[in-house]
């Protein structure tokens, strides 16, 4: 995992035409804008995890997520962050 420090107005470019722009941060969190090509699916990690848990309870394959369009995703494991960095 690459960890970068950015301030408001700065951006990160990712191969494939994806651009992350930092709008600002405060006690509640960081505001990030995402520019990506049409057709690029952008999902919030916590929602993917919640759907995966619901799928497990419903009897689906553990860790997989069935999207509304019928596709199934299996998210990579989310690394833990030491409490001293939060």
* Residue 82 covered by a domain: no
21 contact partners, CB below 8 Å, separation of at least 6: 9, 10, 11, 32, 33, 34, 35
What's the pTM? 0.57
- Decide: 75 and 48 in contact? Cβ < 8 Å: yes
Q: Are 57 and 68 in contact (CB under 8 A)?
A: no
Q: Are 75 and 56 in contact (CB under 8 A)?
A: no
Residues 28 and 55 in one domain: no
Inform me whether the pLDDT recorded for 60 exceeds 60.
no
Q: Is residue 11 part of a domain?
A: yes
Average pLDDT taken over every residue of the chain = 81
Mean pLDDT along residues 66-78: 72
Question: What is the percent of the chain with per-residue pLDDT over 70, rounded to a whole number?
Answer: 79
Please count the structural domains in the chain: 2
Handedness of CA 73, 47, 37, 12 (dihedral sign): negative
- Whether residue 7 is predicted with pLDDT greater than 70 in this model: the reply is yes
Query: Does residue 76 have a pLDDT over 90?
Result: no
Whether residues 69 and 47 fall in one domain: yes
Look at the chain and count its residues: 86
> What is the domain range of residue 54?
43-76
């Amino acid at each position: 995992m690459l960890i970068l420090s950015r301030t408001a107005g700065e951006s990160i470019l990712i191969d494939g035409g994806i651009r992350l722009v930092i709008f600002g941060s405060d006690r509640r969190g960081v505001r990030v804008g995402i520019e990506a090509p049409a057709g690029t699916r952008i999902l919030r990690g916590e929602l993917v995890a919640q759907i995966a848990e619901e799928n497990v309870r419903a009897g689906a394959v553990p860790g997989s997520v069935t999207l509304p369009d019928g596709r199934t995703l299996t998210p990579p494991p989310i690394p833990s962050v030491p409490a001293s960095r939060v």
